[in-house]
Structure 1
Amino acid sequence: MRQAIWFRSDLRTLDNPALFSASNTEQPPVAIFYVCHETWSEHNWAPIKVDFLWRNLEALQQSLSEKGIQLEVQLVPKFSQVPGALREFCRRNNIEQVHINAEYTLDEKRRDAAVDAVLSQDNIELVTHHGNLLVAPGQVRTQQGDYYKKFTPFNRRWRQVVNEMNDSEPVQVGPFSPTSASELPGCPVARKDSSHWPAGEQEALGKLGQFIGHCVEDYQQARDVPAESGTSQLSAYLALGVIGPQTAARALHEFSPEFPFGLPCGADTWLTELAWREFYQHLMYFVPRLSKGESFQTETDNIRWLDNEEGFQRWCEGRTGYPIVDAGMRQLTSTGWMHNRLRMITANFLVKDLLVDWRKGEAFFMQHLIDGSFPANNGGWQWSASVGTDAVPYFRVFNPVRQSEKFDPDGNYIRKWVNELDDVPTKHIHSPHSWLQQQRSNNYCEPVVEHKFARERFLTTFKQVKHG
């Protein structure tokens, strides 16, 4: 029986159950990837993410050809065209089973349901695996059998489920006779250079090894200091599935025989980040309205946001007059990545200081992030805006100057990204305007809003929907 694997957000050979199952035959499977560029644009994919995907596709194609598996890449502009294209692919290759790793957001679920309906007409089976998560939606339930709406109890139960799973060896694909890799088609959309991020599964595994071996012990403290490279830098690889969560979790096993319990602080904190990633995907699966731009806390959809286009543009361009905010936004637009602490600070500022609809910021992040993941980005924005599950309480409004003093005390991160402030002494760097006014030249912008006023405005607006 001829098997196929349809690659999506799982561009790897290690710990890929769909690929492993499709390869569990005497003859090699055939592999397909669809470039749905018009749908990607509708989903706000960043040009740097497209470039990173393309480079990882090339690496995967080469890696598969060495194992004797041919990966075909087709341009199929929209998700709605995939069912017909996949049926033709299966007919051409005499396929009886197609293996996939599930995706959990609404458009992807609808696409897969449509594919299943079309293939079943030809008696072709669509076999679903859960290689993109450690724990599939539905495996983590409350005592009442419901999904978790809060992270802390989810994390507790999720770890119990992980602990109960069989700790298997890495799942490898046995080699068939090597074949030559075919050419990728031309990329049909704009790309932004992602070469700062090495592409390919081996590079991702090397980054993981470097992080676990040298950085994870300090992760709990270092992850909050944006001037240091204290994070794993694996999010872009996880978003495209170049590395799987099973591989990432297995790397932590060495720290504790009772895994996922008994881990030292840094490793435990990083595992919690993997749990957050899974929590947001579970929520997307169980709460379809999250895929439609709606808030988890439905009453907050009635907030009256300001039509503040000038403020939004100044935020996008890193010209708010708040150095830590501007540094974060400039890092994002320049590199396609932003430190996680800065993602929280900049999001909080847009929503609570400028009273701009969080959905505008959510879309802007996706349009620029190399690691843009819809569930994680949506969850983070709803958290920052106090409209999501587990959200930061609405009355907690970050003071950008205090955040700056706390997490960038010497101003090193600010000076790296806001070069107008190169000469500002450290004691003035977080709120530099009074010092700058005494200088002969000053080309740094004035604050777009006064924080104390903005805080009161936000609280008044939010109370109207929270308390009627």
Structure 2
Amino acid sequence: MKKAIWFRSDLRTLDNEALYLACQSESAPEAIFLVCEDTWQRHHWAPVKQDFLWRTLEVLNENLSALGIKLHIKNAGRFSNAGGALREFCKEHSIDKLYFNAEYALDEKNRDRAVTAVLENDGVEVSQHHGNLLIKPGMVKNQQGEYYKKFTPFNKRWRAVLAKEVDVTPLKPNSFPNVNTEPLPNISLKTEDSSHYPAGEDAALSKLGQFVGHSVETYKSGRDRPDQRHTSELSAYLAVGAISPVTAARALQQFSPEFPYGLPEGADTWLTELAWREFYQHLMDFEPRLSKGESFQRETDCIQWRDDEEEFKAWCEGKTGYPIVDAGMRQLKETGWMHNRLRMITANFLVKDLLIDWRKGEAFFMQHLIDGSFPANNGGWQWSASVGTDAVPYFRVFNPVKQSEKFDPQGTYIRNWVKELESVPDKHIHWPHEWLSKNQQNEYCPPIVEHKAARERFLATFKQVKHG
């Protein structure tokens, strides 16, 4: 039987269930990746993410060649062409069985159903696996057999399943006689330079080793400090699948013989972040409407959002007059990444201070994030906007100045990204306008909204929806 693996968001060789199984044969499987730029554009994929994905593919191509596996690249254009492209590929290479790892957003699920129908009609067996998660959807249910709508009970049950039913033994594919590495075809993508992120599986494993070996112990205490480096910096690698959550979990095993229990607080907190990632993937699988721009809390789709393009533009450009917000947005635009605490602060500001639809912010983030993952981004925005599952209560409105004082106390992060404020003393950095005026410095923009009044406006708007 001639086999093939269809790579998507799993661009690695280690702990790749579909690849591992495709290699359980006498001869090397074929490998294929479909470029679907039209769909990526519709899904708001950032140019920097597309560049990072392509560079990751180049590394994967070399790694597969060393295993004796040839990687084929086809330009399908859009998801709707995937069935035809894969049918042609399977005929050309006499493929009898195609393996792939599942994805859970609606368009991806529809694509996979259509591909399965096309190939099975041609006599090609299709084998779907769940190699991008530690625990597949459906395995974490409550006593009524339903999926969890709150994270805390999900996390508790998720860990119980992880302890009893998940084997994190490394999955290493068989190797075959080496093949010559051929360069990837020249496909023109709308990209932005991602070279500040080393690409590929080895780079991801190196970052994991650095984090677990040197930083995870301070993760809980330091992860909310954007002025310091306490995070794993693995999100972009997880988004394209250059590293598996199984690999990450296995790295934490060393800290406790009762894994996933008994972990030191830093490692335990990071495992919880992996659980959040899986929670949002499971929600996508169970609630297709989340892929259609709908809020999890249905009544909140009736909110009358303000359509203020000038204020939205100021938020996008990091010119709101709130230094911590502006620093986060400028970091995003310049690097394609933003610290998670800043993602919460900037999202909260857009929705609750400006009363602008969270979907506009969700799309803007995806258009710029190197680690853009639709389930995680959607879940994070719905949480911040108080419209999602397990969302922050609507009456909890971040005060951006207090957030700044708490998480960037010396203003180091602010000064790094808002250069107009480099000379402002620590005492005034979080709200610099009076100091700037006294010192006749007018390069920095004035605040576009008064927080207290904006908070009252938001609460009044939400109360109408929540309480009729």
Q: CA offsets, 1:279-320, max 9 Å, x none?
A: 000000000000000000000000000011111000000000
Return the offset for 1:174.
1.6
Answering whether residue 358 of structure 2 is matched by residue 371 of structure 1, we say no
Q: Indicate if the aligned counterparts of 1:347 and 1:361 stay in contact, CA closer than 8 A.
A: yes
% same residue: 68
Q: Which residue of structure 2 lines up, in the alignment, with residue 456 of structure 1?
A: 456
**Alpha-carbon deviation of 1:166?**
4.7
- Give the SS at the match of 1:437: helix
Instruction: State the match for 1:346 in structure 2.
Output: 346
Q: Deviations over 1:48-100 (max 9, x none)?
A: 00000000000000000011000001111010001011011001111110000
2:143 is matched by which residue type in structure 1? Q
Match for residue 408 of structure 2? 408
Partner AA of 1:255 in structure 2: F
Aligned to 1:43: 43
> TM-score normalized by structure 2?
0.99
Q: In the alignment, what sits opposite 1:145? A: 145
- 1:302-344 residue CA offsets vs partner (Å, 9 max, x unmatched): 0000011111000000000000000000000000000000000
The one-letter amino acid of 1:152's match is T
Q: Which runs of 4+ in 1 moved over 4 A?
A: none
Please give the alpha-carbon distance, in whole angstroms, between the structure 1 residues aligned to 2:91 and 2:187: 26
CA distance in structure 1 between the aligned counterparts of 2:388 and 2:264, rounded to whole angstroms = 30
Instruction: Report the CA distance between 1:168 and its aligned residue.
Output: 4.3
Contact 1:75 1:185 in 2 (8 A): no
Superposed CA deviations along residues 357-382 of structure 1, whole A, max 9, x for unmatched, are 00000000000000000000000000
In structure 1, distance between residues paired with 2:391 and 2:134? 24
Q: Are positions 1:283 and 2:292 aligned together? A: no
Q: Do 2:168 and 2:250's aligned partners in 1 also have CA atoms closer than 8 Å? A: no
TM alignment of 1:389-404, pairs within 5 A: 389-404=389-404
Shift of 1:185: 2.2
Unaligned stretches of 5+ in structure 1?
Answer: none
* 1:236 matched residue in structure 2: 236
Q: CA deviation at 1:189?
A: 2.3
Amino acid at match of 1:314: A
The reply on whether 1:302 has 2:328 as its aligned counterpart is no
Which residue identity lines up with residue 186 of structure 2 in the other structure?
A: G
Partner of 2:158: 158
Amino acid at match of 1:51: D
> Equivalents in 2 of 1:427, 1:147: separation in Å?
48
Pairs aligned (count): 468
Residue 192 (str. 1) matches residue 192 (str. 2): yes
Alignment correspondent of 2:128: 128
- Alignment partner of 1:33: what SS? strand
- Find the aligned partners of 1:92 and 1:463 in 2 and give their Cα distance: 60
Tell me what 1:387 maps to.
Answer: 387
Structure 2 CA distance for aligned equivalents of residues 441 and 151 of structure 1: 47
Corresponding residue number in structure 2 for 1:439: 439
Tell me, what secondary structure is at the counterpart of 1:215? Answer: helix
Aligned AA for 1:316?
C
Partner amino acid for 1:68? G
* Partner in structure 1 of residue 250 of structure 2: 250
CA contact (8 A) 1:72 1:182 kept: no
Q: Is the 8 A contact 1:37 1:188 kept in 2?
A: no
C-alpha separation between the residues in 2 aligned to 1:13 and 1:465? 49
**In the aligned structure 2, how far is the partner of 1:177 from the partner of 1:224?**
48
Who is 2:178 aligned against?
178
- 2:320 partner SS: coil
Unaligned runs of 5+ in 2: none
Write the letter of the residue equivalent to 1:201: E
Tell me the amino acid that sits aligned with residue 351 of structure 1.
V
- Indicate the larger mover: 169-178 or 4-13: 169-178
Superposed CA offset, 1:14-50 (max 9, x none): 0001001111000000000000000000000000000
Inter-partner Cα distance in structure 2 for 1:11 and 1:181: 16
TM-fit CA distance, 1:183? 2.5
